[in-house]
Structure 1
Amino acid sequence: MRRRTTLKLLGSVAGAGLLGTKTVSADDAWPREETSRFFTHQEVQEFLDDLDQRARRNFELEEIGESLEGRELTVARVGSGNTDVFVVSEQHGDEPTGTNAILAELRELATSGSPFATTVTDELTVHVLAMLNPDGAMRNQRENARPEEYTWDDPFLGEQSGPADPNRQHYFELPADLLPGPKPDENPSPETQAMLDYVLPLEPLWVSDLHTQSGMYYDEDENPGDMYHSSNFWPIADAADEDATELSQQLNVAMYDQAEGQANAQLSVYPGGDTVNIARNAYGAYGFGSILNEMTGQVSDRGERMEGQMVRIMRNENRAVLEETANETLFDRDADRVAEIPDRPGAGDWPWEGGTE
């Protein structure tokens, strides 16, 4: 069955519904529309609609909410398996490589007759939310489109104002005893809340969060040609479920074995924080496997030719966890092997120096 639930393409009115005059117009931002490297929000919707028409197997689209500026958030589901997994990209609007990668993967899963696509879709149902932060994406900015005068009391960071980082708002359904302070009356990222409202009842086996990180990281023993670095991580919050953390580590080992040494790829451990508001930690605390996938290369770091290599590397890592989950070899992985994954060279001290999770 293929259908789209309450979908409304925004078309030429994608900027409608701005929250106040101080919200920056996407028309004044870095013109994502002028590059073929990355998707606009409208292009994501058109891509999904095209797949809805061409899919060879079970494929559904569902609007699960909208951004502050009224851009729809659409989850694509592909497959008929009993095990649900969830992938999200572009929580940060200036990190579009993950959207490129997961949409390419979604197209293969929906339309290809390859053994990989057949195995994954027979055993799994893959849920994909591409471009969680479309307002930020259309500005090429990390945060969402909250106006500068908006303020809220963040339980982890204290009083905040202006645009909100969607990746820091996944605490909203956690019990109060896990929060260091009171939470606001509403989630400052409705985009994040829409994801929470979808994922928590779904109870997926795991959640994969696709990002990019700045810079190239070398140590003194590296070949300068080895320039494509991916840094991954698992939940480390005290509240993270023990079994979920072990599964998350198994997923990281699978990605490490797939990526290491392939096409100049090198996988390292991302220097991430331990607060439970971050998606990677929050979904571990909710009881799901949870992985962070950071591909090196912000929009200003790479040319279009290199973008293709980064997308291929990120796809290889995604394919590894999808395939091994589907054929259940993942569960034979030794979680302790995460100790083999090297720390990211050149990283500063987390939480704020050298990290962009």
Structure 2
Amino acid sequence: MKRFLGVSLAATMALSVVLPGGAAAEPQSKPNGPWIQPGQQVMLERFMEPDELHEKLEQIAERDRHDRLELEVVGHSAEYDYPIYVAKFGDADTDNPKVFLQTQIHGDEQGGTEAALSLIHNLTMSNNKDVRKILDNVTVYILPMLNPDGSETFEVEQGQSKQRRNLQEWTPEEWGLDADTPAPWYHGEDAVSGELGYDVNRDFHPDLSFELSPEDADLLPGLGTEPGFYVTPEARASRDVFEELQPDLFIDHHHRYSNTVSEDDDRLNTLQILGQVVDEDNVVSYDGVDYQLSEESLELSKQVNSHVYQVLQKGNSPFGAISLFPEVDLPGTALGSYSLNDAAIMLYETRGQQHPGGHTGQKGSGMLIQQSYIGLYETLLGLATGEIYDIDPEFYDTEIPRNSPRIGPPNL
């Protein structure tokens, strides 16, 4: 389904890099690009709409001759009732390492869905010895598109973009609250489409059984540094998968703006990573229970992030421009809430969001999808072989660049 609407002049100008035009791209800029050039057309057709994802997942499941893949609907989107799928490989009741991968919690962050679908296909179809080693030694649950409503393509004047938020109104009466109860702080208008919805990635709470009620009215509207409220069906679907699997590792795939590697290295980031999104001293208390990071899960987080960094640096890799995402303290995110439930975490923030500071065009997007796929696949293999557990966690703190300056296109 595609939706079409007009937006304000400011929003149109913000998307000027995707306007159709015949001009060829100029040479790479410094910092090295590729950058979208003025007048260059960016086509979004390569990215999947929800119906296309459904079709491709069903095709993979039908061709599963090895009986490896269990495909399950774990929820439905808020507005259009799209199914939210999880692809399961292995048993949740196991001593093997368990990994939960989630992508496209924001609708305009499509690259992770493409990488996740390739991973699902490979784990289902391949007889490669390393794939078999993964399947024998790791349980993997993959949720390839958490926010299908937000993945809709919107026509903005002559350009196209995706909505970041889900499409859902604030309905306090649904929770037994007074009609004038303020909405959660993360409910509002999408910057591109102008439509109302939630930033689903602020709708998580470390109490996985949390359900908003009149007794919680004084918590609203809340703050960015506090837990969310599980008012979106998308966040609840993710939570249900987490509760079933109880993963040792949770990976959340996002996109972001453009940054250079560090203040001393002006290469353009291909990826920012992070293994900690809640301060070690932060204790979140609710209903008599305290939630805090465990040393064991934090150590594994650092090992996993270090492993991906090292793998993507190998050889003549085009993916060497990697740094740490800025330090944050966000218990209301999926990463934050799950890390407070003893899961190690990894954040992917790959370059390539749908706006002037991030989008890379067709060729660049393909390269970045490949980068994500390699990182995800090698993480599973590293857990299967045990290689990840041999990494010194200090590598994360001392060797991965940080303090990456954000930059904008030099041609705008």
Aligned residues of 1:172 and 1:187 also touching (Cα < 8 A): no
Which among 165, 182, 187 is matched to residue 143 of structure 1? 165
Partner of 1:268: 323
Say if 2:195 is the partner of 1:173.
Answer: no
**Whole-Å separation in 1 of the counterparts to 2:183 and 2:268:** 37
TM-score, length-scaled by structure 2: 0.70
Question: 2:205 touches 2:230 (CA, 8 Å); kept in 1?
Answer: no
Equivalence for 2:69? 59
- Tell me: CA distance 1:264–1:329, structure 2 relative to 1, closer, same or farther (3 Å): closer
Task: Give 1:241 deviation, angstroms.
Answer: 2.0
1:121 maps to what in 2?
135
Matched, 1:311 2:320: no
Residues 111 and 175 of structure 1: CA distance in aligned 2, closer, same or farther (over 3 Å): closer
Aligned pair count reads 318
Matched ranges for 1:212-251 at <5 A:
212-219=255-262, 221-222=264-265, 226-237=267-278, 238=282, 239-251=292-304
DSSP 3-state at the match of 1:265: coil
- Equivalent position SS for 1:95: coil
Separation in 1, partners of 2:368, 2:110: 11
> Structure 2: how far apart are the matches of 1:187 and 1:264?
36
Q: What displacement does 1:321 show?
A: 1.1
Matched residue type, 2:84:
L
CA contact (8 A) 1:52 1:61 kept: yes
Q: Measured at CA, do residues 242 and 294 of structure 1 come closer, stay the same or move farther in structure 2, by a change above 3 Å?
A: same
Q: Distance in 2 between matches of 1:222 and 1:158?
A: 35
Q: Greater Rg, structure 1 or structure 2?
A: 2
Shift of 1:173: 2.6
Is the CA contact (8 Å cut-off) linking 1:56 and 1:112 kept in structure 2? no
More helix by share: 1
Q: Take 2:360 and 2:339, find their aligned partners in 1: how far apart are those partners? A: 32
The 5-angstrom pairing of residues 280-319 of structure 1 reads 280-300=335-355, 301-319=359-377
Matched, 1:204 2:247: yes
1:218–1:253 CA distance, 2 compared to 1 (3 A): closer
Pairs within 5 Å for 1:4-153: 26-28=3-5, 35-57=44-66, 58-69=68-79, 70-79=81-90, 82=94, 83=96, 84-139=98-153, 140-147=162-169
Q: CA distance change for structure 1 residues 113 and 279 in 2, over 3 Å: closer, same or farther?
A: same
- TM-superposed CA distance for 1:222, in Å, is 3.5
String of CA shifts for 1:105-136, please: whole Å, max 9, x gaps.
Answer: 11111101112211111112211101100101
Equivalent in the alignment of 2:219:
182
Name the SS of the counterpart of 2:272 in structure 1: strand
Cα drift, residue 152 of structure 1: 6.3
Q: Which has the higher contact order (CA 8 A, sep 6+)?
A: 2
Counterparts of 2:239 and 2:183 in 1: how far apart (Å)? 17
Contact 2:186 2:198 (8 Å CA) reproduced: no
User: Is the Cα–Cα contact under 8 Å of residues 261 and 401 in structure 2 kept in the other structure?
Assistant: no
Range 266-275 or range 67-76, more displaced: 266-275
Aligned-CA RMSD value: 3.1
CA drift of 1:43 comes to 0.9
Between stretches 186-195 and 322-331, larger displacement belongs to 186-195
The alignment partner of 2:145 has SS state of coil
**Contact 1:259 1:266 (8 Å CA) reproduced:** no
Conserved in 2, the CA contact under 8 Å of 1:268 and 1:341? yes
Quote the Cα distance in structure 1 between the aligned partners of 2:229 and 2:371: 37
> Structure 1, residues 10-55: CA drift from partner, whole Å, max 9, x if none?
xxxx6xxxxxxxxxx8454999xx7432111011111110110112
Q: Structure 1 residues 259-268 or 78-87, which shifts more? A: 78-87
- Could you say which residue in structure 2 is the equivalent of 1:351? none
Q: Note the residue ranges of structure 1 that are not aligned, 5 or more in a row.
A: 1-13, 15-24, 349-357
Closer/same/farther in 2, CA of residues 172 and 145 from structure 1, 3 Å limit: farther
Stretch deviating more after TM superposition (145-154 or 280-289): 145-154
Determine the C-alpha separation between the residues in 2 that align with 1:272 and 1:170: 19
Question: What displacement does 1:86 show?
Answer: 0.8
Identity %: 26
Alpha-carbon distance in 2 for matches of 1:215, 1:149: 36
Distance 1:175 1:299, change over 3 A: same
Tell me which amino acid in the other structure corresponds to 1:282.
S
Letter in 2 for 1:110: T
